[in-house]
A and B are shown apart, each in its own frame.
Chain A
Amino acid sequence: MPKYALYVEKESIIHKIDPRAKILWVLCVFIWSMTFNDPLWTLMIFIIVFSIGLISKTLKEFKFAYPGMISLFIMCLILWPLFRRMGNIIIFEFGPLIFYKESFLYALAVGIRLCAMILAGLIFLATTKVEDLEVGLVKIGLPYSIAFGVSGVFRFIPTLLGDGQLILSAQEARGLDLRSGSIFSKLRKAVPIIAPLLVTTFRRTGELAMAMESRGFSIRGKRTSIIQIKFIKKDYLFTIFNIILTIIFILLRIIGYGAIIPQVL
């Protein structure tokens, strides 16, 4: 049975925080992670995010995402040193390829940085219902249709995944072997998966549009929302705390802390 979106129903303070405050928190995490490029400092950011995750009791639900995060992390470690070739201490040379200690540490920092950002995003989605996100976006000032679109994407991801899974099974049952062959033959083999997925999604979207329109989606004028969100004391505290942290982190970076390669982000 497909669940909707990534929302995980748990009792936690993070769940109760106003969606606007949480959107701002995610933005802050993005800024914090970009502020530093020393792995120890980005690790600190990661630990902050991780603790918020612990408080929200949702970390267990991201099992599906961990393999992806780990492979992204490893990719960073391998690729960044090749492109960001800076530093003084050479670890090893391999023909024209020179690996510097600094660029390796930088890569480590970037890997941790990306994981922190992804984790923050996941925590946000796991603790915020799509409708709350929608209301939050509208209150921030986005037009309703865009807010609906954003929340709708998250609402329909599980549906899309479910369709994809069944299509994959259907074609495998007909002998489609996706596991063997070169990367190019694998790409060619993706056609029997992609084409039905597009057609199914296309038909689904058509029906969805009709259902939405016939319930007055495009009525112009003020829309009421049955969900009432209020920015209360705890949301102010959370937000002020985040803003102060952001200012402190930026100042620290300006006076020279937390950077392996100071010239770049």
Chain B
Amino acid sequence: MDIISIKDLYVKYRMAKKYALEGINLNIKLGESIGIIGPTGAGKSTLCACIAGLVPNLVKCDEFNGEVIVNGLNTKEKSVAEICQHVGIVFQDYESQLFRTTVLLEAAFGPENLGLNIEEIKERVENALKWTRLTGMEKKYTFALSGGQKQRLAIASVLSMLPSILVLDEATSDLDPIGKYEIYEIIKNLKKEKPITLIMVDHHLDRITEIVDRVIVLNNGKTIYDGKPREIFSKVDELIEMGLAPPQVTEFFHRMNYNKEYPINIQEAIMNTPSKWKVKPLIEKEVKKYSNIPAIEVIDVWHSYEPNIWALKNINLKIYDGEFIGLIGQNGSGKTTLAHLIAGIMSPTKGKIKLFGEDVTKQTILKRGRIVGYVFQNPDYQIFSNTVKEELEFGPLQLKLPREEIEKRVKHVMKVLNIEDIANEDPFFLNKANRQRVAVGSVLTLNPKIIILDEPTTGLSPGETRKIMELAKDLNNMGVTVITITHDMWVVAEYCERTIVLHQGEIKMNDSTRNVFSKIDELEKYFLKPPQITEYSIKKFGQPFLSVEEIISHINIEEDKNA
């Protein structure tokens, strides 16, 4: 029986120039687990919203043609109130999905609306919390939960509606590696207990292979591929072309011209690595010479938001001019706090901060902004102008620079960012990747010597992530010191020379990226995991390679001499 059946679905949002979905046909059987992948703007979220009935019932569109039948209900004719008893949907941003104050009340909200009796509500909440491993936290305030717990609570609060279909629309994107892993674990266990149908949009293909039994690739509102995970992930070149990332081990085997079925996870890769693939000793790339001028010095810094609760404890850190630093750690480990202190968004409770030797602890952000540029995770925090060009001009205008100088800077930045063609567009209507570029640009025109990127790639597809990071690399090559906060470990592995691990407000690791990612066990203590290819190369060859590129350049295929 098909639990979801979509026929010739065309969706065009209000004011949109093109269709978000263009002729989707899809049948999903009861109990199937589907992974949906595709670049940003492919229509993944729209498809999820259509299945949940939010489109066209809540979000109005100019055009909604075709049919979406969910559990026998035609979504166009039913209300969300009715459909939500069959479909539970969870979104990326856990902050805006939680609106009650305690865990118990959040999970009970749905069943309360159903008008069930209290005993049944309590039972459902208890089960939902058990499935999401939140038992015992009923009385906790939701703001006191970690990011991963918040997202699990968002899942619990739809599971308490007992849906037969669960839709996760990039529910893991904002989470640290272990937070993601826990979500996958609870989903796997849930599948064992209930015949629930699962639809998940996720960019982390290496992980979802363990869960989904069918993958759909969307691009430009159309279904491009639909098949078994192995079949889809083996189309390495096609996926990369679209800006998607197949599992790293799959890409590796493909590029080594492996002629049998590609592995799609670490275990398969380790078992199937041909014995004639020999690895050369690791040749470190030429070590970049930094000036020995410290750009940032953090000296004995402590910070607290509430009395006696330290968000940062005794931080001592030197970052040299021209370095590219990765700042990683669990959600809530203090990464953003540290970055805010460096940028002057807040002053530390105790301790000193120096920039290029000058004590700036008490300096206002107004002054410090000329040295440190800060790009927020949410580009909407910065953007307000009518056109992209005006947005870029804003900073230099405030500094009252001469007109020619402003023109020169804006032109240069637009060229670096490759946004010349959208110079006169309204940034509000750009997609997130482009808004993020505009936000970066608006900081760059101030010519900062240090730039901090606070999770710049959250919610972007791997292809777009790469573009933003390439940009950061170009800036770094021009001499700008870059600090990036991210949960994408492959980003750190490929771009950052030094990695700092924060855990519960303390610096736990501070070393070259390779050394940090070599210590798998230690990382796990801090809820982190190295990229798949690094884990694979350590386990198989005993050497930590940081990218597919790197491992390929170190492999020799030993021809069998007797043959």
Chain A residues in the interface with B (C-beta under 8 A): 1-5, 7, 129-131, 152, 155-156, 159, 163, 166-167, 169-177, 191-192, 195-196, 199-200, 203-204, 207-228
Contacts and interface: CB of A to CB of B under 8 A. Distances in A.
Given A131-B105, A196-B381, A221-B115, A152 B99 contact: yes
A166 B381 contact: yes
Given A211-B97, A214-B84, A226-B121, 8 more contacts: A4-B142, A173-B369, A175-B369, A175-B397, A207-B93, A213-B54, A213-B80, A227-B105
A214 B442 contact: no
A129 B110 CA distance: 19
Interface residues of B, number: 77
B143 A1 contact: yes
A3 B143 CA distance: 7
A215 B158 contact: yes
Contact of A174 (B118, B364, B443): B443
A190 B87 CA distance: 43
A175 B392 CA distance: 12
B84 A226 contact: no
Given A170-B376, A221-B115, A216 B382 contact: no
A209 B58 contact: yes
14 contacts: A1-B144, A5-B101, A167-B382, A173-B365, A173-B366, A175-B396, A191-B384, A196-B380, A203-B380, A213-B58, A214-B54, A214-B84, A214-B87, A219-B114
Nearest to B311: A1
Contact of B395 (A174, A196, A204, A215): A174
- 5 closest A-B pairs by beta carbon, nearest first, are A175-B398, A173-B369, A195-B384, A216-B113, A215-B110
A174 to B, nearest CB: 4
B101 A7 contact: yes
A135 B187 CA distance: 34
B394 interface: yes
Contacts of B216: none
Given A177-B398, A191-B384, A223-B113, A208 B96 contact: yes
Contacts of A152: 99
A130 B101 contact: yes
B373 interface: yes
A224 B378 CA distance: 37
Contacts of B142: 4
B88 interface: yes
B536 interface: no
A156 B91 CA distance: 19
B115 A208 contact: no
A177 B366 contact: yes
Contacts of B184: none
B368 A226 contact: no
A207 B91 contact: yes
B165 to A, nearest CB: 11
A1 B144 CA distance: 8
B485 interface: no
Contacts of B144: 1
Contact of B374 (A159, A173, A200): A173
B163 to A, nearest CB: 9
Contact of B381 (A4, A5, A167, A191): A167
